[in-house]
Amino acid sequence: MNTPDADAINIRFYDHLWSRTRLETPERFNTWPLISSLVQNGSQRLEVGPGLRPRLPVRDSHFVDKSIAAVGRLQEQGGSAQCGDVCALPFDEGSFDLVCAFDVIEHVDNSRLAFAELSRVLKKGGTLVFSVPLHKSRWCEFDAFVGHVHRFDPQEVLAFVAENRLVLEQSAPFGMQPGNPWLLKCGMWFLRHQSRQAIFWYNRILMPLGLFFQKPLNFSDGLGDAALVDEIVCVCRRGG
């Protein structure tokens, strides 16, 4: 399970953020072409750790998140949302056709258990979509600031997939983190020292710009060439 420090950092950071942030609909993200196609064949679906950036349609989806603020807003919009932990999901084995976990697994100490839980609640033949930051050598101050515990080397991702009877069907470069180190440092300073103003600018300017300039996800079979990729989204099928 998570250490108290990791839990405390994540709960404090994200509950503070989501309590002052509006909910974005999944249609606005570049994941929507993928998700909309998967939803057609997945009547039972779960997203873990969505905050107020769900990639699944809120109505008729299940959500688990640690943020009380996020859970409340998802419930208001018709989602079946509850507080919980990716390492101890409150569902029976094989409950869902589709399970999503975007920007979640890197936030927990026991990533092996997180992968096992996401796979456990997935039906045979069901689909798991997850994203993780890559390359331990690229760990930076921003990772620690936003509550990351891990970055994953590509072979580590493949090992976790294989351990849980998953087949990695396709993957694509992912993420909206600015690549400019100066912008990252500037953003962290404002969040630390001027949080109200920083969240205002995030909601009104930065997030809309990020959504506008998103590039379509460029999927390739399997893991693809991940050498220059900072974060990846993977689409896996649960085997027997």
Q: pLDDT of 41-97, one tens digit each?
A: 768 999 999 999 999 999 999 999 999 999 999 999 999 999 999 999 999 999 999
Q: State pTM to two decimals.
A: 0.86
- Residues 114, 208, single domain; the answer is no
- Residues 44, 153, single domain; the answer is yes
- Residues 85, 196, single domain; the answer is no
CA distance 81 to 111: 23
| Structural domain containing residue 222 | 4-176+216-238
The residue-averaged pLDDT of 96-121 equals 96
Mean pLDDT, the chain, whole residue set: 86
- Residues 80, 199, single domain; the answer is no
Q: Phi/psi at 123 (nearest 5 deg)?
A: -70, 155
* Spatial contact of 126 and 98, defined as CB atoms under 8 Å apart: yes
Q: Which run of H or of E encompasses 131?
A: strand 122-133
- Residues 38, 139, single domain; the answer is yes
- Does position 183 have pLDDT exceeding 60, yes or no? no
pLDDT of residue 1: 44
